[in-house]
């Protein structure tokens, strides 16, 4: 595809006509990039709306030195910090992600004083 794009651009540069090939390739690249970006977000939103048990579930999170425990619907899950895929911090929340598609949301307003120092020990690993 890259070679085809280069060939189209070179052809448009050397010809004196309207560069329709370059414009079409540019639009195609934009559409492909947009669909690759937008598709995972749309899938996540759809799954969230469909799964009412997870969406409306209350959970308790307890933090320890090297792991945290999530209590949800009488099920207890222990997740070591060194096994986390990623920790995402926004202005309002922390997202503790054990994988690309699942995680625990920690609301910053519900956190005790000093929690930011505690969680940053694991973010900066």
0.75 surpassed by pTM: no
| Domain of residue 90, residue span | 59-123
Residue 14: CB atoms within 10 Å: 7
User: Which residues have C-beta within 8 Å of that of residue 49, sequence separation ≥ 6?
Assistant: 55
Query: Within this chain, do residues 8 and 35 fall inside the same structural domain, yes or no?
Result: yes
Task: Write out pLDDT tens, residues 14-39.
Answer: 667 666 777 777 788 888 877 777 77
Query: Within this chain, do residues 78 and 108 fall inside the same structural domain, yes or no?
Result: yes
Task: Write out pLDDT tens, residues 84-116.
Answer: 988 988 889 898 989 888 888 899 999 999 999
Query: Within this chain, do residues 75 and 111 fall inside the same structural domain, yes or no?
Result: yes
Q: What pLDDT band is residue 62 in, cutting at 50, 70 and 90?
A: very high
Angle made by CA atoms 36, 42, 53, in degrees to the nearest 5: 140
Query: Within this chain, do residues 38 and 63 fall inside the same structural domain, yes or no?
Result: no
Q: For the chain, give me the number of helices (H) and strands (E)?
A: 4, 6
Query: Within this chain, do residues 64 and 103 fall inside the same structural domain, yes or no?
Result: yes
């Amino acid at each position: 595809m890259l070679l085809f794009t280069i060939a189209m651009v070179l052809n448009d540069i050397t010809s004196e006509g309207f560069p329709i090939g370059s414009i079409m390739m540019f639009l195609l690249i934009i559409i492909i990039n947009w669909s690759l970006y937008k598709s995972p977000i749309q899938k996540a939103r759809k799954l969230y709306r469909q799964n009412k048990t997870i969406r409306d579930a209350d959970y308790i999170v307890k933090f320890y030195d090297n792991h945290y425990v999530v209590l949800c619907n009488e099920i207890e899950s222990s997740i070591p910090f060194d096994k986390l895929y990623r920790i995402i911090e926004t202005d309002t929340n922390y997202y503790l992600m054990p994988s690309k598609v699942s995680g625990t949301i920690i609301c910053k307003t519900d956190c005790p004083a000093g929690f930011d120092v505690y969680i940053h020990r694991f973010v900066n690993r």
